[in-house]
Every structure is written in C-alpha cells, then in structure tokens.
Structure 1
Amino acid sequence: MSPRREQEMVPRAEFRSYYGRPILKQPAWKVPDVPGYLFLGGLAGSSAMLGALGGATGRPGLARASRLVAAGSAVASVGALIHDLGRPERFLNMLRVLKPTSPLSVGSWILAPFSGLASASAASELTGLLPRLGTAAGAASAGLGPAMCTYTAVLLADTAIPAWHEAHRELPFLFAGGALTSGAGAALIAAPAAEQGPARRIGLIGAGMELAAAYRMERGLGLVGEPYRQGRPGKLLRAGRALTAVGAGLSVLGRRSRAVSAIAGAAYLAAGLCTRFGVFEAGKASAADPKYVVIPQRERLAGAAEPVVIEQSGAALSRP
C-alpha cells in the first residue's frame, strides 16, 4: 500500500513590506495628463506620416486632414506634459541638455522639434503661404513620426515598475500599432472618402500589430502579466481590443459609406485611449502589490544560483 501524500497545510504567502508601505513608489504622474500624453503623441506621429503619404500620392484631402490632426495632437501632447510637470519652465529645462542615456531627455528632444515642424506644416496648409516650406516641414515631421509613436513605450519600460519594465519588448509594438490605428481613425473621420485607402490599410496593419502585442503581454509575461488581465486595467485593455477589432471590421465594410467609416474611425480612437489608460493603470497596480516585485526577483536569483558547468580541456568545472 502506497503511503498517503501529506496534504499541504502551508498557507499562501503574503508579501508585505515594512510598515505596510509598497516596495516601489507609485508613479507620480497625473491622470489624465500622462495617459493622454501617451495617446496624443502616438496619434500625432502616425498622422504626420499619413499626411506625408497623402501628399506624395496625390491625395490632398488626406494630406490636409492628417497634417492638421498631427499639429493639434502634438500641441495638445505638449500641453498635457506641461500640465503634469506643473510649470512650463520645467519642460524648457529638459531641453537644456540632451542626455542620450535618458529616455525622458531624448523624448523631449523628439517632441519639441516635431511639434514645431507639424505646426509649421499645418499653418502653411491653412493659410496657403509658403507651400514648399510647409511640405518640407510636413516631411520632416513625418520622419520623426516613428519615434513619436514609440518613444513613450521606451519611457515607461525604462522605469522599475514591473508591468512596464518586464514588457519592454512588447510595449513599443503595442504603442506603434495603437498609434497607427489612431492616426487611421482620425483620417477615416476627417479625410474625403475617396482618399481614405491608405488610412484603411495602415489601420489594419496597426490593428494586427496591436492585438498581437497585447496578447503576448498578457499571456507571455507570467505573473507580471496579471495586472494586464485583472481589475480596471484588464477591463480597459479588453475594451481596447474589442474596439480595435470593431474599427478594423467596419473600416473594411464601410468603404462606400462615409458614416460607417466615421464610426470605424471613432472606434479606433476610443481603442487607443482605452489601451493607453489600461497600460498606465496596470503599471500602477503592479507597483502597489509587492508580489510583482518579490517573486520575479526570487526567480531570477534562483536561476542565477544554479551551478554552471563549463567544459574546458575535457574537464568539467562548476561554479555556484
């Protein structure tokens, strides 16, 4: 007769810190300033690229609408950042020195020239003055567009917040895909129906990229991926995925209907907002719970403590 297995009586571990304080300091960034800043920057970058594409392919309506959206979103993004910082001079102080090792410094130096170039392009579009310079400014802002779409993801991943730091491979793809769908959404609302072809295709590419990155973040990060699935962050991210799918489907079905295209565009934009707010809230949740800090650290230490065998001249050498 085989011996009975002992029933496990050890209660589930609870992770606490001294005096009940979190191990990590909660992000001090304001809501909705910072999530809005994340969303608006991506929208501005992708819209600048769509504006340049519209101008290069003989679609003046798409070019005009996208350039205006790029400028308005960039200015609003700067405003959200300044409001979070508290005083305008703090943003100006970040431009005094360029530190290549600081994502915040590099991001400031991306945002500032992009905003100026996008605004110059939009001003030329509205007034009709200096069209060549306006086109050149639009092309230059489009060159900075990919960086605008992704640098905020690097900014989050460079922190110690577990849900952001452990997702450093996936966040740039998630934000890039969301930026493409947001820019496409704005174009589906504002551009003439006959010129929306590039926006539809870019929106579908962005939707595929965003959904794939979101799945990998939620399922491939192990324990640290929990905040992306649970609570308020989980609800926001599920809503973002659903709206992205709706926007992609309607953008295909609504090729001949301006109203359906506008609904698809609104779904894309709402999805971008839900995703940025969901990612931000997931980071806060992971910083508040010590287990997302303690367990991954213990797992890494346990992996580093395993003996390593090195073959050298036929002899096996081990080290702890």
Structure 2
Amino acid sequence: MVSGTGPETVPEAEFRSYYGHPVIKRPIWHVPHMPLYLYLGGLSGASSLTAVLAGLTGRHRLARAARITAALGASTGSAFLIAELGRPARFLNMLRVFKPTSPMSVGSWILAAQGGLSAAAAVSDVTGILPAVGDAAALATVVTGPLTATYTAVLVADTAVPAWHAGYRELPFLFAGSALASAGAAGMLATPRAEAGPARAVALLGAAVETAAATLLEQRLGLVGEPYRQGRAGLLLRVARALTAGGGLLTLLAGRSRVATAASGLALTAGALCTRFGVLEAGRASAADPKYTVVPQRERVETAGPASVPGR
C-alpha cells in the first residue's frame, strides 16, 4: 500500500494457530519413562548381538554378561513402557492381535519376543539348565535384537510430529548406532579387558554410526531440523555427540587401563541416554511451534504448482 509519505513496509507474518494452540497435538509421552524405554530397548537388542558374537569367538564371560544385559534391558524397558501406558492390561491388549500396518502393534510383539528369548538365554546360561535351548534362544535374538533396537525409530517417525516424521531416514540409523554404543559400553564395563574385544568393536561401530546419523539428520532436514540444534534438545544432542566422541576416543586409547576403559563405557552410556532424551525433546518442540508444520506444507504446495483441471 502506498501513502503520501511513501510505501509502507508490511510486517513479516507470524506463524500462529487458532486461539494460540499448536497445529498438531504435542506428544504426551512422559519423561523419563519414554526415553528410558527407548534406551533400554536398544540396549537389549544390541546386547543380544554382542552375546552371539562373543560366544562365536569363545569369550564366554562377555557372552554371559551380554545375555544378562539383554534380558535386563528388555524386562526393565517393558516396565517403563507399561508405566508410560498406565497399567499392564494396556500392553497385554496390544498382544491380542497382530496388525502389520501398525508400528505399535508390531513393536509390541517384537518386544515380547525379545524379552522372552533373551530371558531364556540368560537363565539357561546362569543356571546351566537346558543349555541347547538357551543357545537356540540366543541365536534367535539375532533376528529380534536388531528389530528391537530400531523399531522405536519407526514408531516415532510414523507420527505427525515434524522433526520425527521428516527424519524417518536417519532415525533408525541413529537409534541403531546408539544401541550398539550402549551395548558395547555395557560389555566393556562388565567384563575384563582381555575378553572385551568384541564389546569394544561394537562400541566403536555404534559411536561412528550414531555420530554420522546425527550429523545427516540435522543437515538434511533444513528448517524442520532446527529443534535438533536449538533449545534444550540442541543442548542434549550436543552433549551426546561430545560424550559419544569422547567415549569412542577413550576406547581406542585406553590400552590396558581399567580406569580409562570404565570412563569410556560410562561416557558412551551417558551419550546414548542424552541422544534419546534429545530426540524426544526435539519432537515435542517441533510439535509446539506451528511453523514446523505450516512452512513445509506451503513449500510442498508451491513445488507442486496449481492443480490441473481435466478437459482444459
């Protein structure tokens, strides 16, 4: 609009929603229940793989420690999930049917299978009862373990939360890397260094995958990736990267030092926890701000162009 004194500057529009409410509902998942469930599920799944790898290379103390870690991770993670749901019946109800199109339904069955198999493997190893059954159960977790470590990434990405939905490519790798780092750290902390070679390898691989996936996640998403870089989520994820990188470096340089090995294991564990808390916080922040929903929608409409009318 032009006035007698010259053109008036139109103020930049603000992103608002009706009555000040977010465009989409903010995730109602609770802290610390949900991030701890995500962490423990990943720890269980990757520890199962570590147990099998240790058993194949003759490192029986590491194999036992990893089996026990996998069982404890699955059972404790299930407890946090039940606490999140409010009562055990809700988890049991999800097992009444198997719905392949529902990540929650598939995930419930995966978690139940991983919990049962890892418990059987651990109990058999500790008691010496039915060792063949225990070994078979441990071997079966080669299938359920990776699924347990990554299905939660599919679960969060299959939502309308912008930061999670847009990160559907990187989140499974981020969760897998975090899970491997967690399992490797647990193995390093629970066994003598002489037997912890596979655990160190798993930890280093996990740290590398987690760091690469986190970097790609922030770079590819553009505007929608802002919550991963800013605020509380950004702080948590920066701390996670520092702890993961530091833990990986200590793992390489620890030598025979038990203190350095323990420090690296604790750093990797803390980094994995910060990653899960940071991802959850980023999702909540992106759901609360309308621009992370509105701007990508407008860009998609503009890119698609005007709709064509048949017959014209």
Question: TM-score normalised by the shorter chain: which range applies?
Answer: over 0.9
Task: Spell out the pairing of 1:83-162 with structure 2 (5 A cutoff).
Answer: 83-162=83-162
Kindly indicate whether residue 157 of structure 2 is the aligned counterpart of residue 174 of structure 1.
Answer: no
Distance 1:191 1:172 in 2: 28
Distance 1:45 1:67 in 2: 10
The residue number in structure 2 matching 1:225 is 225
Structure 1: give runs of 5+ residues left out of the alignment. 1-5, 309-317
The sequence identity of aligned pairs, in percent, is 59
Contact 1:48–1:138 (CA under 8 A) maintained in structure 2: yes
Distance 1:96 1:285 in 2: 34
Distance 2:10 2:215 in 1: 34
Kindly indicate whether residue 36 of structure 2 is the aligned counterpart of residue 59 of structure 1.
Answer: no
Structure 2: give runs of 5+ residues left out of the alignment. 1-5
Q: Can you list the C-alpha shifts for 1:117-153, whole angstroms capped at 9, x where unaligned?
A: 1011111122121111111111112321111111000
Task: Spell out the pairing of 1:270-309 with structure 2 (5 A cutoff).
Answer: 270-305=270-305
The residue number in structure 2 matching 1:81 is 81
Kindly indicate whether residue 43 of structure 2 is the aligned counterpart of residue 43 of structure 1.
Answer: yes
The residue number in structure 1 matching 2:3 is none
TM-aligned CA deviation for residue 306 of structure 1? 6.0
- CA separation of 1:94/1:8 partners in 2, compared to 1, >3 Å: closer, same or farther? farther
Letter paired with 2:219: R
The residue number in structure 2 matching 1:234 is 234
Distance 2:117 2:160 in 1: 33
TM-score using structure 2 length? 0.95
Report the number of matched residues: 306
Distance 1:262 1:164 in 2: 33
Letter paired with 2:25: K
My pick for the range that moved more, 180-189 or 12-21, is: 12-21
Contact 1:241–1:271 (CA under 8 A) maintained in structure 2: yes
- CA separation of 1:222/1:128 partners in 2, compared to 1, >3 Å: closer, same or farther? same
Letter paired with 1:217: L
The residue number in structure 1 matching 2:27 is 27
Distance 1:10 1:178 in 2: 47
Contact 1:49–1:143 (CA under 8 A) maintained in structure 2: no
The residue number in structure 1 matching 2:186 is 186
The residue number in structure 2 matching 1:204 is 204
Distance 2:8 2:139 in 1: 65
- CA separation of 1:7/1:140 partners in 2, compared to 1, >3 Å: closer, same or farther? farther
Q: What is the aligned-residue RMSD (CA, Å)?
A: 1.8
TM-score using structure 1 length? 0.92
Distance 2:8 2:219 in 1: 28
SS of alignment partner, residue 256 of structure 1: coil
Kindly indicate whether residue 224 of structure 2 is the aligned counterpart of residue 249 of structure 1.
Answer: no
- CA separation of 1:18/1:268 partners in 2, compared to 1, >3 Å: closer, same or farther? same
Distance 1:319 1:301 in 2: 22
